[in-house]
Amino acid sequence: MKTIAFDVMGSDLGVKPAIGAAIKILTEKKDLKIILVGNQDEIQNELDCNGKAKKVADRYEIFPTTETIKMTDGILEIRRKKNSSMVKALEIVRDDKANGMVTGGSTASFIAGSHFILKEFEGVSRPGFMPTIPTVIKDKIVLLLDVGANIENDPNDLLNFAIMATAYSKSTQGISNPLVGLLNIGEEKSKGKDLQIQTYKLLEESPKINFYGNIEPREIISGDVDIIVTDGFTGNIALKSIEGMGKKLLSEIKKSVTKGFFRKLAALSLKPAFKEVAAKFDYKNHAGAILLGVQKIAFKSHGSSDLRSFHATLRMTYDAISNEIDKKLEILLKESEGV
Amino acid sequence: MKTIAFDVMGSDLGVKPAIGAAIKILTEKKDLKIILVGNQDEIQNELDCNGKAKKVADRYEIFPTTETIKMTDGILEIRRKKNSSMVKALEIVRDDKANGMVTGGSTASFIAGSHFILKEFEGVSRPGFMPTIPTVIKDKIVLLLDVGANIENDPNDLLNFAIMATAYSKSTQGISNPLVGLLNIGEEKSKGKDLQIQTYKLLEESPKINFYGNIEPREIISGDVDIIVTDGFTGNIALKSIEGMGKKLLSEIKKSVTKGFFRKLAALSLKPAFKEVAAKFDYKNHAGAILLGVQKIAFKSHGSSDLRSFHATLRMTYDAISNEIDKKLEILLKESEGV
């Protein structure tokens, strides 16, 4: 049995989509248990309204908490609100009462809480958020990090990201020698800010990773590499640019192909074709990011997560637990003599 | 008669697409003259091969040069290669023998050359590349700068960008009070690096611009604002992320809707619908960026420009000349008591 501690409070859309997603994944995965951490009345109320909850009632429990970390809360609140759902979810994982945790709450609080409660692997000074990004190659995803756990990073952080993501890729994707790219504004090694120029040298020299070179933002979804490292600010800009363009372009096409009767008719028969592409590049299906670098499995879902986003994040967490990512990472990082 | 000095050397695909684009726009715009700056033989050869060149032969001339700035050339070469096509094209504009110039050559050399030869407006320390980006709102574009003229910028540079782009928007687009957004990883004013936090304060306090607040990369093409300012590195990352996603997503959809006979049939009748969206978001149609901040009209086209990209850049340059952007900018910047 796998257990997820799920902080159902603190995200933009409230408890409802979180509970809906929990019941959905419990229905799908028979070897999964979820600890719903949050306000008992709100959770119970949602469970009572959910027709499918009864069928999986033996595999969820409520862990009642009295405080909530707000979206605007930061580092201080994680220390002050000791009975908040986020702190408790982190503690449940720390104490091995769950195999992983998920939250949709404040990023700043989550980063701080993970640091204080879960701790980093030895040698890792800064963990990074790592979502999986779909590429144009069938069934191939690319791991991009950091996308916002940090605002500033140094070259050593980026080398750490590369080493950790390499271990992750090996253990979850079975890629024997994953290719690592450095996100940059040009291909040449002289391109970019001092961070990129110094990082290029470190990555090039490191025997612990398989370095591809610089990769331009145009090629993020090309599938040329398995891992792309960058600082948290740049990664966040790139990720959100791609997400926004994907979403808006698909909606523009939808508008255009349904303009007028004849187009609508033709579009109808192409619906499966559009759905294929839309589903692949719908970032709601990739809404979660693991916080890579902490000793336990901890996932952040978009602050504005709806049922589908939370469900996708819970599924990713389930997969990470099934793969025992935390234990494999620990072993692989030790084998490569730390990060 | 409007005149463009066109550096036809130094871009990735050689002289051919440049000459093709020049003849195409000369055919379209009867009040345009182009000075083709570059290797005489190569240019003449392309002109001889172009069936339409004869018809517009009275409106182009060759300005022969003997040196070429290579794509890998930087700041030093612009001072050394005094008889290069890029230097000569800049000098022709400086000496008012043309109203504007276009190059597809080395960005670093172009920035340095513009600084030495064209000079900046008073008070402008760093010009910025400003492309026009299509938005989901019909006929609305957004001005994004800087997208790569600089690697690092300070808050004052970004305020300068905002003021110059405001003047540009007023004089070319007739928008009376253009809205300026600051590209950032969140909406709150506390978000981002020190650059974004300090710039937010400057923009908020400036009476010279109409500040909207932070704008996230997801909303670049929403059309919520008229101008988006950012540093050159971040702007380049965002622009290329959007471009890459747009191109790849359209190609994925094309692949998906032409899979199998029936889909192909339906897709055929939707071709105009796809073309509408593809044309709008095809960045080849927006391949040029004005170097905003120098005293003359100077455009950079992608280094990998093909005929369509060069043609789009020449058209943008023609529009800028028609609008007398350089003179209007000078006046508006003086009126607002400098930048």
**Which residues of chain A have a CB within 8 Å of the CB of B192?**
151, 233
Domain spans of chain A, in order of start: 1-124+293-339, 129-282
Fill in the amino acid letter for B303.
Answer: G
Q: How far apart are CA B270 and CA A78, in angstroms?
A: 54
User: Tens of pLDDT along B160-178?
Assistant: 999 999 999 998 888 999 9
Confidence band (pLDDT; 50, 70, 90) for A339? low
Nearest to A185 among B236, B253, B262 (CB): B236
Min Cα–Cα distance to chain B from A159, Å: 20
- CA nearest to A152 within chain B: B193
- CA nearest to B218 within chain A: A244
User: Tens of pLDDT along B26-79?
Assistant: 999 999 999 999 999 999 999 999 999 999 999 999 999 999 998 888 788 888
At A41 the pLDDT is 97
- CA nearest to A258 within chain B: B273
Domains A1-124+293-339 and A129-282 share a fold: yes
Q: Which tokens go with B66?
A: 């003997």
At A101 the pLDDT is 98
Among residues A90, A159, A148, which one has the least CA distance to residue A123?
Answer: A159
In a 13 Å sphere around the CA of A126, the CA atoms on its Cβ side amount to 22
At A254 the pLDDT is 83
For CA atoms A278, A283, A284, A286, the dihedral sign is: positive
Q: How far apart are CA B266 and CA A299, in angstroms?
A: 42
Min Cα–Cα distance to chain B from A149, Å: 12
CATH class of A1-124+293-339: alpha beta
Residue B228, pLDDT above cutoff 90: yes
Most A-contacting residue of B111, B129, B230, B242 (CB-CB within 10 A), to test interface: B242
At B339 the pLDDT is 52
- Strands B141-145 and A210-215 turn out to be unpaired
User: Tens of pLDDT along A46-84?
Assistant: 999 999 999 999 999 999 999 999 888 878 888 899 999
Confidence band (pLDDT; 50, 70, 90) for A98? very high
Q: Enter the CATH code of domain A129-282.
A: 3.40.718.10
At A338 the pLDDT is 52
Asked if residues B39 and B332 have their Cβ atoms less than 8 Å apart, the reply is no
- Strands A227-229 and B60-64 turn out to be unpaired
Q: What are the DSSP E strand ranges found in chain A?
A: 2-7, 32-38, 60-64, 100-103, 128-134, 141-145, 179-183, 210-215, 227-229, 288-292, 297-301
Say whether A237 and B233 touch across the interface (CB within 8 A): no
